[in-house]
Amino acid sequence: MGYTVKELCEKVSGARFEAQRLSAEEKNRVLIDAAKRLEDNAEQLLAANAGDIKAAEEAGMSPGLIDRLRLSKERIEGMAEGLREVAALPDPVGEVLEEFTRPNGLRIRKVRVPFGVVGIIYESSPNVTADAFALCFKTGNACILKGGSDALASNRAIVAVLKEAITEAGFNGDMLGFVDSADRADAAELMKMRGLVDVLIPRGGAGLIRAVVEGSSIPVIETGTGNCHIFVDESADLEKAIPIIVNAKTQRVGVCNAVESLVVHKAVADRFLPMLDKAMKEHEVELRADSKAGAILTGAVPATEEDFGTEYLALILSVKVVEDIGEAIEHINKYHTSHSDAILTENKENAERFLRDIDSACVYVNASTRFTDGFEFGFGAEIGISTQKLHARGPMGLKELTSYKYLVEGDGQIRG
Amino acid sequence: MGYTVKELCEKVSGARFEAQRLSAEEKNRVLIDAAKRLEDNAEQLLAANAGDIKAAEEAGMSPGLIDRLRLSKERIEGMAEGLREVAALPDPVGEVLEEFTRPNGLRIRKVRVPFGVVGIIYESSPNVTADAFALCFKTGNACILKGGSDALASNRAIVAVLKEAITEAGFNGDMLGFVDSADRADAAELMKMRGLVDVLIPRGGAGLIRAVVEGSSIPVIETGTGNCHIFVDESADLEKAIPIIVNAKTQRVGVCNAVESLVVHKAVADRFLPMLDKAMKEHEVELRADSKAGAILTGAVPATEEDFGTEYLALILSVKVVEDIGEAIEHINKYHTSHSDAILTENKENAERFLRDIDSACVYVNASTRFTDGFEFGFGAEIGISTQKLHARGPMGLKELTSYKYLVEGDGQIRG
């Protein structure tokens, strides 16, 4: 890169105060201008991307991954539109979260502030570059982006355009840092920049997330992995259940909020499993069943213990029959990833018990797990879906990219 | 211990659902009973503590540390009183933080829930054992405590009493886990229990905190280190300034919210520094000054660069003279630990600039930094003071020991 990761982080950290002082109007102006510049520079971005695509093809990358890497005029327009949408959202910075006066007269305000420097480590989709920048910039954070090595040329070109929008507006381009390197050691180095980077967010598959969680000395927000379960209770409306399960499994495969495992109350197994069988065959979903479910389903593969703990990200669904809701809750809490789980039931008491006892970011009653998403929740943006409990849980929008501080005003108070 | 740390964590994790289902009334009953049991068993606790004290004396422990380790009837009553105070606080669990209905009819509630399992690693004060348990238990968290090895017998005795209060009430004693070991390897092992422990909070000195932050694979809330600064602006009321600085430096030495460094505007240096000199001499505070301050003060030690970055925790104060508020803010943001910093000024604009630009958990105008404290903020409790920006910042009370989850209720919604 011509400089070390540490030097890059120091530059970005040096620009963080300028970032946090930007007004909403200034930030929106840069974002809208950056959108136009992405569109205006589409040819240049496509040329850079063509180089990445060629190298990936020569390296024998799978068609699915190459598709993820590929830019097109439409995708660039999509990126630009994304920036405009973020510009249109309310600015969360400066919001007074609490305000109170103590008996000694001290006036205390708890105010929303940017983190400072946010690091984002992600995989091959180059559109994440513009998206991650927009969310960080809008929230007054300086950011450091480290994308996938396969997308290096594409990301470099996108960052150049974004930086131009910042500097042409008269602001410090160092608010956006880019690890211009395909070297894994540089990603590892970034994870050690505690003190210069306030929070690190990995966006990508389970392997990337594990590597960041285990390797980082910076506080990490863990996102992503979703081994989601649906429990079909004995009182479930079975006609309603099928479309929910079909939606949760097949509307989009390979996403973290897709269902991976079905838990069925024994009282409805005889009636429900044949309905499921038929629907899943229509949608070419492979079923992997425990012995009780397997005795009713036709042609299901026997499920192993490992199946229940697996996020397939494929047209596969594991099925288990349980004695009661208690066993269902215990089973789900044991095997899920605390992302999203649903109960299908017409029994209010069981719904409430499930909502209370399932230890997940999002717990559903009679709806598809696919709704766990910043846009579906109405946040207008999404930086990821947190599966940890510290700081943010579930879909993370703009607010989740902020911290707070206490402003305390007095007139000479001392502690007695 | 007769079992491994992992086995202990599994047991505690297994009890977490029972902890989170306890009602406010059930929790308060246990806490109040535990308080009485601590008082009733004072003799036994003092006997256990006497063993720890004897061993510490034989090992040549300093009188200050031995005092921290020592229990007395009064201190046991203080611990009991602490439990009663926590019982009297409102239960934060179950609070509906947000509630909204989406256009598709999904009803979404964001509800405050316990973390699950909280690990607390602390040093020699045995009273932390009761306090940490009370805060975790009140917030519906199971907890795992690892105290200082010097206090092992004292902590073991306290934990036995607390556990008795839980089990006598008919609840699962595994909600309270205790690493009954003086082996450092067991503390290191605890830090690796990601998946079984949701969050780890170190309570103690800078060394302990650094070790936990660096060694933990579990999300950590960093607490404690406070290199607090006070800036005396050119418009400061100098008569008001002296009592604030005296309070912040001397009211209690060795605490994280005590002031360690003074930054003085050059326009008031000639008038203010002699006043400071006199007051600090009266309170036996050693001054370490930069060259400009040193030329005015009498007998100050020359300050090195290292001085400005040092949390003395002693009757020492570094002093620097600056050109203007801009240099003051830059200096403070460079050397502080983002804990608590104050400006003394009668200029509203400067106060606002300082509040906005100082990157600390608590930023003060015209008051002592000593107020950064959960009790002084009116939280009724304090688990520590966070100096990081993820999850919680500044004084942490009961609410900061909780997470949230989303409860989503529908009637068959699927994603289009």
The pLDDT of residue A206 is: 83
Mutation target for B interface from A212, A325, A363, A390: give the one with most B CBs within 10 A.
Answer: A390
Q: Tell me the C-alpha distance between B324 and B18, whole Å.
A: 57
Q: Which residues of B touch A201 (CB under 8 A)?
A: none
| Contact state of B389 with A106 under an 8 Å Cβ cutoff | no
Contact A153, A48 (CB under 8 A): yes
What digits encode the pLDDT tens for the residues B113-150?
999 999 999 987 899 999 999 999 999 999 999 999 99
Q: Which residues of B touch A377 (CB under 8 A)?
A: 102, 108, 406
Quote ipTM for the complex.
0.94
Model confidence band, residue A177 (pLDDT cutoffs 50, 70, 90) = very high
Please give the single-letter amino acid code of residue A384: G
**H-only helix segments in A24-110:** 24-40, 42-58, 63-69, 73-88
Tokens 């381009």: give the residue: A173
* ∠ Cα A112 B375 B385 (to 5°): 55
B410 touches chain A (CB under 8 A): yes
Q: Which secondary structure element, helix H or strand E, spans residue B310, and what is its range? A: none
Q: Tell me the C-alpha distance between B157 and B163, whole Å.
A: 10
Segment B47-65 shows an average pLDDT of: 95
> Which residues, at least 6 apart from B42, have a Cβ–Cβ distance to it below 8 Å?
B73, B76
Nearest Cβ partner for B368 among A364, A391, A415: A415
Q: How distant is the Cα of B58 from the closest Cα of chain A, in angstroms?
A: 37
What digits encode the pLDDT tens for the residues B273-317?
999 999 999 999 999 999 999 999 998 999 999 999 999 999 999
Task: Enumerate the β-bridge partners of residue A230.
Answer: A262, A342
| Contact state of B409 with A367 under an 8 Å Cβ cutoff | yes
Please give the single-letter amino acid code of residue B77: E
Tokens 């309270």: give the residue: B176
| Contact state of A366 with B413 under an 8 Å Cβ cutoff | yes
Q: Report whether pLDDT(B200) > 90.
A: yes
| Contact state of B409 with A351 under an 8 Å Cβ cutoff | yes
A194 touches chain B (CB under 8 A): yes
- Phi and psi torsions of A100, nearest 5°: -155, 160
Q: Report whether pLDDT(B407) > 90.
A: yes
Mutation target for A interface from B118, B360, B408, B411: give the one with most A CBs within 10 A.
Answer: B408
DSSP-assigned states of every residue in B136-193: HHHTT-EEEEE--GGGHHHHHHHHHHHHHHHHHTTS-GGGEEE-----HHHHHHHTT-
Tokens 């800036």: give the residue: B231
Q: Select from B118, B126, B228 the least CA-distant residue to B177.
A: B118
User: CA A277, A258, A260, A389: dihedral to nearest 10 degrees?
Assistant: -150
Q: How many CB pairs under 8 A join A and B?
A: 196
Q: Which two tokens stand for residue B330?
A: 């830059």
What digits encode the pLDDT tens for the residues B356-399?
999 999 999 999 999 999 999 999 989 999 998 999 999 999 99
Mutation target for A interface from B112, B371, B373, B402: give the one with most A CBs within 10 A.
Answer: B371
Q: Sheet containing B259-265: give its strands across.
A: A96-101, A107-114, A402-413, B362-367, B340-344, B228-232, B259-265, B316-322, B286-289, B301-302
Q: What domains are defined for chain B?
A: 5-222+394-409 (3.40.605.10), 228-371 (3.40.309.10)
Nearest Cβ partner for A411 among B361, B366, B414: B366
Q: Tell me the C-alpha distance between A107 and B355, whole Å.
A: 13
| Burial bucket for residue A90 (CB in 10 Å: 0-12, 13-18, 19+) | exposed
Q: Tell me the C-alpha distance between A135 and A73, whole Å.
A: 22
Q: Which two tokens stand for residue B177?
A: 């886990």
Nearest Cβ partner for B390 among A108, A391, A415: A391
Model confidence band, residue B222 (pLDDT cutoffs 50, 70, 90) = confident
The pLDDT of residue A64 is: 85
Q: Select from A169, A168, A170, A164 the least CA-distant residue to A178.
A: A164
Q: Which two tokens stand for residue B45?
A: 């606790």
What Å distances lie between residue B250 and A416, B242, B244, CA to CA?
11, 12, 10
Nearest Cβ partner for A362 among B240, B371, B406: B406
Chain A window 295-334: which residues touch B at a Cβ cutoff of 8 Å?
333
Contact A271, A234 (CB under 8 A): no
Please tell me the least confidently modeled range out of A204-213, A299-308, A396-405, B345-354. A204-213
B122 touches chain A (CB under 8 A): no
Q: Which two tokens stand for residue B71?
A: 């229990």
Q: How distant is the Cα of B337 from the closest Cα of chain A, in angstroms?
A: 10
Chain B window 227-246: which residues touch A at a Cβ cutoff of 8 Å?
237, 240, 243-244, 246
